[in-house]
Amino acid sequence: MKFETDYIEKLAKIIADNGLTEISLEDGEQAITIRKDLPEVIAAAPAAVAAAPVAATAPAPVASAPQPAAKEPEAKGRAITSPMVGTFYAASSPDAAPFVEVGSTVNAGDVVCIIEAMKLMNEIKSEQSGKVVQICVKNGDPIEYGQVLMYVE
């Protein structure tokens, strides 16, 4: 059994709804740990969730989320957010052109990036039409559930 993205999202919701800080599960050869890091200074920060599949013979390591960076200027437009934890890719392959760049025009349903999660490549599509005004992550960056990927106006 693989830990599906919906299952991981449900576990993250359980953490948030019940004031928990960590859940660890093992199923056969897979294990997963989801941890909510609690920033000391920022009280209203969203939960940081990290998941890592590992072999059952090894203890389940916990990947910690990066600390919040300096606040970026507010962007105009609607945010396209990550529906999962994974790795952001701007193009379909290393030698291909990016799906979108700042200034690109997108239509609802157009692929704007790929997120690799658990060795699966997931196409992320725009839910609105408009112009890409800001891309908030770099190619190859690890990303969290709900993290803003880009803004479209």
Per-residue confidence (pLDDT) for residue 107, from 0 to 100: 94
Per-residue confidence (pLDDT) for residue 73, from 0 to 100: 52
- Residue 124 tokens read as 């992320």
Per-residue confidence (pLDDT) for residue 47, from 0 to 100: 44
Per-residue confidence (pLDDT) for residue 21, from 0 to 100: 72
Q: Which residues of the chain have pLDDT under 50?
A: 40-58, 69-70
> Residue ranges per domain, the chain?
1-66, 78-152
* Identity of the amino acid at 69: A
Contact 115, 88 (CB under 8 A): yes
- According to DSSP H, which parts of 1-152 are helical? 5-18
Which CATH number is 78-152's, of 1.20.1440.230, 3.40.50.1260, 2.30.110.10, 2.40.50.100? 2.40.50.100
